[in-house]
Amino acid sequence: MKVFISGASGLVGGNCLKHFTEQGWDVVGSYYSFQTDDTVFYDTLNPDHPNNFDVPAFAPDVIVHCGALTHVDYCETHIEESYEKTVQSTINLIKLAKECKARMVYISTDYVFDGKNGPYREDAPFNPLCVYSRHKLEAEQLVLSDSPEALVLRVTNVYGNELRGKNFVARIIDQCKIKQKLTLKLPYDQYASPANAWDIARAMFVLLRDGKHGVYNIGGTDYMNRVELALRVLSYFPNAEYDLIPISTAEMNQPAARPLLGGFVKMKFSKEYPEFLFGNIDSYVKTQL
């Protein structure tokens, strides 16, 4: 299998690049703004950029789109940029996939739902609440409508190993290790099913290997709010200094609305792969001690 991964210097893309390569696939991963040793340059908003990696010459069987603008509040006040980096980039990669006769894989989110009736199955009704979520849903639907062979993985609260350590869980672990005091003001009413990026990569691998298509909701074995998530990580660092302030989402007064009861029921994936074991926060943090 030959795979091109857009956004491979990020959390999900980086884990996919590592896992697919270890499984013996021929994989090329790209970066745009953050270069790593194992990625090549590709600008999804400028397919004719002279420095772009020559994807058609590589002739991938699959194109995985992991690049995204994920700062939800920033998207709310930068609508055009959000559209370009989420929707237009996807449109450009759909065209590239057609040129290469490759399957398209898109990473989506539980933000396509309104958070009133979560956790969600794949066929739950959509109701995006903010600019970010509307653009993610638009891109997801474009991918699915373009080809019956397309694959969409919805994920949420992703954590795990990444070079920059930007994700929420990794930041807490890093600060605890250097004995830096943490100040955490977190919503107690936002629930999700956090997923390790390594598990997402493993799940994507088996789905691609077996020629699966359509939408799969992917999540770990935890279902918790942000306060519980932080405390679970902190429990492994008994000497950590921190101030944790539980607060409601309404009190946070953020520009973008969030789904409160989010997360997933991954029954579809588990029915097809009953022996696939997902990790959780505990299993991940233990590997970092």
* Intervals of the chain under pLDDT 70: none
Q: Which helix (H) or strand (E) holds 62?
A: strand 62-65
pLDDT at 2: 98
Does domain 2-161+193-223+263-279 sit in CATH 3.40.50.720? yes
- CA 55, CA 239: separation in Å to the nearest integer? 49
- CA 170, CA 163: separation in Å to the nearest integer? 10
CB 159 within 8 A of CB 284: yes
pLDDT at 163: 86
Q: Which long-range contacts (CB under 8 A, 24 or more apart) does 230-235 make?
A: 230/168, 230/172, 230/184, 230/186, 232/281, 232/282, 232/285, 233/169, 233/172, 233/173, 233/176, 233/281, 233/285, 234/172, 234/176, 234/182
pLDDT at 15: 97
- CA 171, CA 240: separation in Å to the nearest integer? 13
3-state secondary structure of 39: strand
**Domain locations along the chain:** 2-161+193-223+263-279
Q: What is the mean pLDDT of the chain?
A: 96
pLDDT at 166: 86
pLDDT at 274: 97
Residues in the chain: 289
pTM value > 0.85: yes
pLDDT in tens, 34-92: 999 999 999 999 999 999 999 999 999 999 999 888 999 999 999 999 999 999 999 99
List of residues 6+ apart from 18 with CB closer than 8 A = 201
187, β-bridge pairs:
247
The CA-based dihedral angle spanning residues 73, 79, 81, 87, taken in that order and rounded to the nearest 10 degrees: 100
Reading the block at residue 214, the tokens are: 């359509």
